[in-house]
Amino acid sequence: MKVDVLLGLQWGDEGKGKIVDVLTPKYDVISRFQGGPNAGHTLEFNNIKHVLHTIPSGIFRENKINVIGNGVVIDPVVFSQEIDEIEKLGIDIRSSLYISKKAHLILPTHRLLDAASENAKGATKIGSTLRGIGPTYRDKIGRDGLRVGDIFSNFKEKYDLRVAQHKLTLERLYQYDYAEQLLNYEKEWFEAIEVLKKFQIVDTEHLINKSLQEGKSVIAEGAQGTMLDVDFGSYPFVTSSNTICAGACTGLGIAPTKIGKVFGIFKAYCTRVGMGPFPTELLDEVGQKLREAGNEFGATTGRSRRCGWLDLVALKYSIMINGATDLIMMKPDVLDDFDTIRVCVAYKINGEEITEFPSELDEKVEPVYVELPGWKTSLCKITHQDEFPEEFNNYINFIEEQTEVPISIVSVGPNRCQTIEIEND
């Protein structure tokens, strides 16, 4: 068996959580491979809305194995809050969730370092979620991190050593007054470590590879999106992990030859939270209309998301980097009320038109649009592709022609049931 991967093709918040939940019945194992509580994955069913940050989006379905892989960074406090919320619903998470011994821990000082670093950057800040992601991955790569497996022996000693270094940086580099915040946060954090200890903490690479050998099906759930990838995103306005398909190999311990389908998920328009270039951003009332219709406010930080038209130059780049085999289109219902819909097919830079995504984007990039007619009708109750209005079929066909990848799922609302599988001939 192979591992199918589902990942974001844009700047995150494409709707990964919803679709992983929808696809879960087809899989035995659902695994997260990177990122941490910077992610906010929303699921809606039975009139309840859930936002997951660390836990895979397969957790609400019965008889499934959920895995937090080695590539993920875990904040025990956020994790234990998530556990509380899920257990309130009567779900037996303790027997279905496995956590990698090799996943790194977000320490209280990592959060403080994230805040101090962002403060110090001033106008050039990343707009991080302030969840300590950057400093935790920095320590991982710098070989200074603490991993989940460390919590079982001499933990306080190891912790104190790392935190002493962090305190020095906070004091000397940032002149950051951390004492009170740290005191409050540490107590909660160590309590949460005790919660974490009671979970099934294993070498998840063995679990996943054994599952494949036994003929079980595995899906890997990405966090963030390709345009936030630390190598291929708009550096430095990116997150600190590899959000792309290759990240599933390193973040779970699976060989590249074991990758099956790659589901690339995208919104029918674009959004971005935080700073950094965004060629098709709309700063006018059209952008505002998208924000309101799409309820574009962050699931993790509540920040309002920047909105713009679909960018096929960036999308094609993401498809190339990930080798997407199937596309999943989200939120076209947000465009229900538009007379015309624009799609960016090229960039103009210094008067020259380019279709290949450039390594540096700046304000000189001018999007070149194709205008397509809107469908001016509500999609949200549609249950089969035969009911799609003609203009919407044209929109889908246009994207498929441009990207040369079939759209296999269309989502027309936040609920589980508002999902349409497309039959491609």
Output the CA torsion sign for 220, 128, 240, 182.
negative
CB distance 70 to 149 below 8 Å? no
Q: Does 131 bind ligand IMO (CB under 6 A)?
A: yes
Pick the stretch among 27-35, 38-46, 111-119, 134-142 that binds ligand GDP (CB under 6 A). 38-46
274 binds ligand IMO (CB under 6 A): yes
Known catalytic residue: 114?
A: no
> Residues 4, 13, 28, 326: which is the catalytic one?
13
Contact between 365 and 349 under an 8 Å Cβ cutoff? The reply is yes
Residue 109 near ligand IMO by CB under 6 A:
no
Torsion of CA 264, 16, 32, 299, to 10 degrees: 140
Q: How far apart are the first and last CA of the chain?
A: 25
Minimum CB distance to ligand GDP smaller for 166 or for 331: 331
Instruction: Print the binding letters for residues 210-249 with ligand IMO: x by CB under 6 A, - otherwise.
Output: -------------xxx--x----------xx---------
Closer of 314 and 422 to ligand IMO (Cβ): 314
Residue facing ligand IMO at closest CB distance: 274
Backbone angles phi, psi at 86, to 5 degrees: -75, -40
Nearest approach, Cβ of 36 to ligand GDP (angstroms)? 13
**Which among 247, 230, 248 is positioned nearest to 239, based on CA atoms?**
230
List of E strands, 245-339: 259-267, 270-272, 306-308, 310-311, 326-330
Q: Are strands 65-68 and 73-74 parallel, antiparallel or unpaired?
A: unpaired
- DSSP secondary-structure letter at 103? P
Q: Are 9 and 271 in contact (CB under 8 A)?
A: no
The question of whether 13 is a catalytic residue gets the answer yes
Region 16-35 residues binding ligand GDP, contact defined as CB under 6 A? 16-18
The active-site residue, picked from 21, 28, 41, 75, is 41
Least Å distance, CB 175 to Mg ion, is 33
Q: DSSP state, 228?
A: G
Query: In the bound complex, what is the minimum distance in angstroms from residue 122's beta carbon to ligand GDP?
Result: 27
Query: Which tokens in the block code for residue 22?
Result: 């929808």
- Asked if 296 is part of the footprint of Mg ion (rule: CB under 5 A), the reply reads no
Among the listed ranges 7-15, 69-77, 324-332, 353-361, the one in contact with ligand IMO (CB under 6 A) is 7-15
Contact in structure between 395 and 312 (CB atoms under 8 Å): no
Identify what 135 binds: ligand IMO, Mg ion, ligand GDP, none; CB under 5 to 8 Å per kind: none
> Which structure tokens are listed for 400?
């498929």
Applying the rule CB under 6 A, the residues between 169 and 228 that interact with ligand GDP are none
Query: Taking CB under 5 A as the criterion, which residues in 145-184 touch Mg ion?
Result: none
**Reduced to 3 DSSP states, what percent helix, strand and coil does the chain have, rounded to the nearest 5?**
40, 25, 40
Subset of residues 368 to 407 that bind ligand IMO, contact rule: CB under 6 A? none
Name the DSSP class of 75.
-
Which residue has its beta carbon closest to ligand GDP? 42
Q: Min. distance of Cβ 56 from ligand IMO in angstroms?
A: 12
H helices then E strands: how many in the chain? 12, 20
CB of 394 to ligand IMO, least distance (A): 29
Residues that bind Mg ion (CB under 5 A): 13, 40, 299
Which residues in this chain contact ligand GDP in the complex, by CB under 6 A? 8, 12-18, 39-42, 44, 299, 330-331, 333-334, 411-414
Q: What positions carry a catalytic annotation?
A: 13, 41
